[in-house]
Amino acid sequence: GQQLNQSPQSMFIQEGEDVSMNCTSSSIFNTWLWYKQDPGEGPVLLIALYKAGELTSNGRLTAQFGITRKDSFLNISASIPSDVGIYFCAGQLTDGGSQGNLIFGKGTKLSVKP
Amino acid sequence: NAGVTQTPKFQVLKTGQSMTLQCAQDMNHNSMYWYRQDPGMGLRLIYYSASEGTTDKGEVPNGYNVSRLNKREFSLRLESAAPSQTSVYFCASSVRDRGIETQYFGPGTRLLVL
């Protein structure tokens, strides 16, 4: 089945640093989504990307839908302590029998540098 | 709006016991989903329901059954729990906008099977 490779698996951040993570796939997706999950909570949608090449911002977050439709990245600028959590990318097909089903990456865990 | 709610929050079962995880949404969404989340595995789709009265298998359906009781409620049943079903279970519902399904997640049910 389709798989998403999300990297890095984990990273440590110092307040004020910029953070970058990405997802790649062997399949083409029509939509890319980025979610954040806080401990003990469900994932919350951060950004949705609908068109190849699209660059979208949400506050300090910026995400891009790759031109090939097989990749996406998420940048967080000037990180703050509440940015810690697990970030998931998800690709979505919107045609065929899969309806709006999402394929999730395995997550990037952001932690604060000790 | 409560969004997506799940009960119970936590559950401990013995191998072979059965239980039903409940999910409800008050956003009038047509589609609902059940995922499981395991460490290092991201979110994997168990079953989904594109509309009231329909259900379909996802990536990992074995050992589970679902019921779309009405538009609001989508339950997940474990008939004979196994330790391999120890996981965090998330329910989600989605709305279609501009041809794109955007999923919203509940807070999760943490299940331990001994």
pLDDT in tens, B78-88: 999 999 999 99
In this prediction, residue A24 carries a pLDDT of 95
Q: A30 vs B47, which has greater pLDDT?
A: B47
A83 touches A100 (CB < 8 A): no
In this prediction, residue A33 carries a pLDDT of 92
Distance set, CA A5 to CA A70, A85, A105, B40 (Å): 10, 18, 6, 12
Chain B interface includes A107 (CB < 8 A): yes
In this prediction, residue B95 carries a pLDDT of 82
Rounded-to-integer distance, Cα A67 and Cα B56, Å: 32
Question: What percent of chain A shows pLDDT beyond 70?
Answer: 92
In this prediction, residue A99 carries a pLDDT of 53
Residues 6+ apart with CB under 8 A from A98: none
In this prediction, residue A100 carries a pLDDT of 59
In this prediction, residue A95 carries a pLDDT of 58
**Mean pLDDT within A93-114:** 76
Q: How confident is residue A3, by pLDDT bands cut at 50, 70 and 90?
A: confident
In this prediction, residue B97 carries a pLDDT of 73
Which among B50, B100, B105 has CB closest to A94? B100
**Mean pLDDT within B87-114:** 89
Chain A interface includes B38 (CB < 8 A): no
Distance separating the N- and C-terminal Cα atoms of chain A:
39
Q: How confident is residue A94, by pLDDT bands cut at 50, 70 and 90?
A: low
**Mean pLDDT within B103-109:** 93
Q: How confident is residue B41, by pLDDT bands cut at 50, 70 and 90?
A: confident
Does position A61 have pLDDT exceeding 60, yes or no?
A: yes
Which of A104-108, B35-39, B100-104, B108-112 has maximum average pLDDT? Answer: B108-112
The DSSP bridge partners found for residue A30 are: none
Does position B21 have pLDDT exceeding 60, yes or no?
A: yes
Report the residue of B23, B54, B100 to disrupt the A interface, i.e. the one with the largest count of A CBs within 10 Å.
B100
Question: What percent of chain B shows pLDDT beyond 70?
Answer: 97
Interface of B with A in 49-108 (CB under 8 A): 50, 58-59, 90, 92, 94, 96, 98-108
In this prediction, residue B102 carries a pLDDT of 81
Rounded-to-integer distance, Cα B110 and Cα A42, Å: 11
